[in-house]
């Protein structure tokens, strides 16, 4: 299996029970999450050797974060104590026609207030196959733009593939700011998770006419992005149809070798927890790129892994390759006994 390094923030998530107002709750569920952190756990479950680069405060909340990631096999030797708080967010879990709503309280976090890189060790990328980061990390501060850029550069120099998940969050930065940062980062990127809106809003690609089919759209925007950044060899995304908060359809899209591979359009008729679904998808897809060259299978695998994430609570999914394989090959929900 591969050796992976990720960079990103660990967040605390507080969530209500389904059907409860946040205002009326006297207990909240407490989970650790964070986009790249979730990808790390996903890849660790699939047997990769994953190390997370991050910072946490030196208090029980930070220590608990380390224990959490260690439990799922993620190496935390490059997570340092620094700063004073973990960013957090509050989830009022939706139901049926009512969407889940999120309140953030993530400013002034340990990572957001980091003033200089802590990962200067020359051996950081030794033997590493992949470096993964999302757009959330550089959105946290100008310092993190520099740190992200520096690590991407060093990864490239060490022959490590660079994976970047756009993951644009309007609450963190403007489209203008993000666009300008992306221009700095994308020249180093090999694997890019981005969709139509990223292409238009962040890379400035002219929108295709509205009547185009999904396949045409995916092909058009992928090609256009590769025109600008020929270094990008893989582009992936999901197409999600929201029937209700509890029922979605999910289809994975993988653009590689100038070809579009699409998974089946998978039905998720009952959703336990959608948060982290995209990160599980990334983990599944990166797993495919790290281990095989069967692209059709890789996109099925990634989508299946994302679907499975929807059936578990918590931000991340720690599950074996075998379980995902069994899932995408089975076609029923019989009890296994």
Beta bridge partners of 162: 131
**Do 326 and 334 contact (CB within 8 A), yes or no?**
no
Nearer to a second copy, 159 or 334 (CB): 334
Write the interaction track for a second copy spanning residues 244-283; mark x where CB under 8 A is met and - where it is not. xxxx------------------xxxxxxxxxx--------
**The only residue of 60, 77, 115, 211 in contact with a second copy, by rule CB under 8 A:** 60
**The only residue of 23, 121, 210, 257 in contact with a second copy, by rule CB under 8 A:** 23
**The only residue of 80, 119, 249, 327 in contact with a second copy, by rule CB under 8 A:** 327
Backbone angles phi, psi at 41, to 5 degrees: -65, -40
Nearer to a second copy, 104 or 292 (CB): 104
Question: Rounded distance, CA 33 to CA 112, Å?
Answer: 16
Nearer to a second copy, 59 or 180 (CB): 59
Minimum CB distance to a second copy, residue 122 (Å)? 25
**The only residue of 47, 100, 179, 184 in contact with a second copy, by rule CB under 8 A:** 100
**The only residue of 5, 9, 13, 31 in contact with a second copy, by rule CB under 8 A:** 31
Minimum CB distance to a second copy, residue 251 (Å)? 14
**Do 268 and 278 contact (CB within 8 A), yes or no?**
no
Among residue numbers 180 through 199, which ones bind a second copy (CB under 8 A)? none
Distance of CA 40 to the CA centre of its chain: 9
Residue listed under structure tokens 């089946």: 264
Does 81 participate in binding a second copy (rule CB under 8 A)? no
**Do 134 and 35 contact (CB within 8 A), yes or no?**
yes
Write the interaction track for a second copy spanning residues 137-176; mark x where CB under 8 A is met and - where it is not. --------------------------------x-x-----
Minimum CB distance to a second copy, residue 223 (Å)? 28
218-223 long-range contacts, CB within 8 A, separation 24+: 218/253, 218/255, 218/260, 219/255, 219/260, 221/195, 221/196, 222/255, 222/260, 223/258
Does 296 participate in binding a second copy (rule CB under 8 A)? no
**The only residue of 3, 18, 177, 264 in contact with a second copy, by rule CB under 8 A:** 18
Pairing of strands 88-92, 11-15: parallel
Question: Rounded distance, CA 161 to CA 47, Å?
Answer: 18
Judged by CB under 8 A, how many residues of this single chain contact a second copy? Answer: 79
**The only residue of 242, 292, 293, 294 in contact with a second copy, by rule CB under 8 A:** 242
Among residue numbers 61 through 80, which ones bind a second copy (CB under 8 A)? 61, 63-64, 67-68, 70-73
**Do 236 and 253 contact (CB within 8 A), yes or no?**
yes
Does 329 participate in binding a second copy (rule CB under 8 A)? no
Nearer to a second copy, 204 or 269 (CB): 269
Question: Rounded distance, CA 301 to CA 201, Å?
Answer: 29
**The only residue of 50, 53, 308, 315 in contact with a second copy, by rule CB under 8 A:** 308
**The only residue of 3, 146, 312, 325 in contact with a second copy, by rule CB under 8 A:** 312
CB atoms within 10 A of CB 301: 26
141, 139, 163: which is closest to 151 by C-alpha? 163
Does 41 participate in binding a second copy (rule CB under 8 A)? no
Does 14 participate in binding a second copy (rule CB under 8 A)? yes
**Do 92 and 17 contact (CB within 8 A), yes or no?**
no
Q: Which residues does 289 contact at the CB level (< 8 Å), separation at least 6?
A: 130, 161, 191, 234, 298
């Amino acid at each position: 299996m591969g050796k992976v390094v990720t960079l990103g923030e660990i967040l605390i998530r507080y969530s209500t029970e389904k059907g409860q107002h946040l205002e009326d709750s006297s207990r909240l569920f407490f989970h650790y999450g964070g986009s790249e952190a979730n990808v790390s756990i996903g890849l660790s479950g699939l047997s990769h050797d994953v190390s997370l680069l991050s910072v946490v405060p030196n208090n029980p909340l930070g220590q608990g974060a380390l224990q959490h990631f260690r439990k799922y096999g993620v190496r935390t030797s490059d997570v340092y104590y620094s700063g004073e708080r973990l960013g957090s967010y509050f989830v009022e879990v939706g139901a049926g026609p009512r969407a889940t709503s999120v309140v953030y309280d993530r400013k002034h976090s340990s990572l957001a207030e980091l003033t200089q890189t802590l990962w200067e060790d020359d051996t950081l990328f030794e033997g590493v196959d992949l470096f993964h980061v999302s757009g959330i990390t550089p959105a946290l501060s100008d310092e993190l733009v520099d740190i992200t850029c520096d690590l991407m550069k060093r990864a490239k120099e060490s022959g490590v593939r660079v994976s970047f998940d756009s993951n644009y969050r309007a609450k963190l930065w403007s489209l203008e700011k993000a666009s300008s940062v992306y221009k700095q980062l994308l020249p180093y990127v090999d694997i890019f998770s981005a969709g139509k809106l990223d292409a238009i809003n962040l890379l400035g690609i002219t929108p295709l006419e509205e009547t185009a089919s999904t396949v045409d759209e995916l092909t058009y925007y992928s090609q256009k992005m590769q025109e600008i950044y020929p270094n990008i060899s893989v582009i992936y995304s999901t197409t999600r149809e929201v029937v209700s908060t509890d029922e979605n359809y999910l289809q994975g899209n993988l653009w590689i070798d100038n070809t579009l591979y699409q998974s089946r359009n998978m039905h998720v008729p009952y959703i336990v927890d959608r948060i982290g679904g995209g990160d599980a998808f990334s983990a599944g897809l990166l797993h495919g790129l790290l281990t095989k060259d069967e692209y059709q299978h890789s996109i099925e695998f990634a989508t299946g892994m994302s679907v499975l994430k929807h059936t578990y609570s918590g931000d991340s999914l720690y599950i074996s390759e075998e379980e995902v394989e069994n899932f995408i090959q089975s076609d029923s929900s019989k009890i296994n006994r």
